[in-house]
Amino acid sequence: MEIDTQLIPIPPDPKILSKKNVVVIDVLRATTVIVYALSQGAMEIIPVASVEEAKERAKTFSQEVTLLGGERNSQKIEGFDLGNSPTEYSEERIKGKRIILTTTNGTRAFYLVSAGNQIFIGSFLNIGAVAMRCVSLDRDLLIFLSGNKGSFSLEDTVCAGMLIDLILKNGEKPVNLTDASYDALFLYQRFEENLIGAFHFSSHGKELFELGGGGDLIFCAQTNITEVVPLFKDGVIRIF
């Protein structure tokens, strides 16, 4: 098994990708929101690229079970039911609901990797469960980091490194790491004892903190609070 890590969110080669499983990570905050919402009983998440598309898609579903969620510039979108803070996605609010989600970095990522074999959604919240799934499937893996406005994201890379660390520790077969995966692994080891510390260096972490999102940072740095492993398939994210 080879693990490669896409450090910058540019489109991977679809031919190579079709042979691999993919884990999409956007710690702040799209994949944290998705994992948490599904752990709280959301029916499904439909990631879309634009605010307009979100509104159009919502019209095609029963309004009773459909919510609009997401952010632009880290802020809730006007007319939407939910923002992009995972704390909003509690059981009382979203159980049994379909969420149409649009965020700056994370929702775009799913379409960039749609040629992948199986596409999992990872965050610190479910990283152990994702690792165990990758180990049991034993297929070459691309960890795709959503980044921050097209650039490298420190916290996504730390999370990728934790995933790699767990696969190495739990798998029995040899694993080959690319240079990018070693980079992620070493970065994780730097922050292993203090994941929150990574947010203090990260530009997105600092931005959220300044906007009063310090609570979200603490929430997003929780590890292994759920075992759900969401999959992106035919445009929908569910626990298939």
104 lies in the site for a copy of itself, by CB under 8 A: no
Of the candidate spans 75-83, 127-135, 197-205, 222-230, the one that interacts with a copy of itself by CB under 8 A turns out to be: 197-205
What sign does the dihedral 7-13-16-17 (CA atoms) show? positive
Q: If we measure between CA atoms, which residue out of 90, 45, 79 comes closest to residue 65?
A: 45
Q: If we measure between CA atoms, which residue out of 152, 149, 163, 155 comes closest to residue 198?
A: 155
Q: Decide whether 154 or 195 has the Cβ nearer to a copy of itself.
A: 154
187 lies in the site for a copy of itself, by CB under 8 A: yes
x/- map, 7-46, a copy of itself, by CB under 8 A: xx-x------------------------------------
Distances (CA, A) of 147 to 6, 49, 63, 203, 206: 10, 15, 32, 11, 15
Q: Decide whether 203 or 224 has the Cβ nearer to a copy of itself.
A: 203
User: 171: which 2 tokens?
Assistant: 């798998």
Q: End-to-end CA distance of the chain: give it in Å, rounded.
A: 24
Q: Decide whether 103 or 148 has the Cβ nearer to a copy of itself.
A: 148
Q: Which of 66, 74, 104, 202 binds a copy of itself (CB under 8 A)?
A: 202
Q: Which of 44, 55, 76, 152 binds a copy of itself (CB under 8 A)?
A: 152
Q: Tell me the H-state helices in the chain.
A: 14-17, 30-39, 51-59, 91-94, 106-112, 127-137, 154-170, 179-191, 195-201, 203-210, 214-220
Amino acid at 220: C
146 lies in the site for a copy of itself, by CB under 8 A: no
CB of 75 to a copy of itself, least distance (A): 21
The three-class DSSP label of residue 222 is: coil
Of the candidate spans 56-64, 66-74, 196-204, 223-231, the one that interacts with a copy of itself by CB under 8 A turns out to be: 196-204
Binding site for a copy of itself (CB under 8 A): 7-8, 10, 148, 151-154, 157, 177-180, 182-183, 186-187, 189-190, 201-204
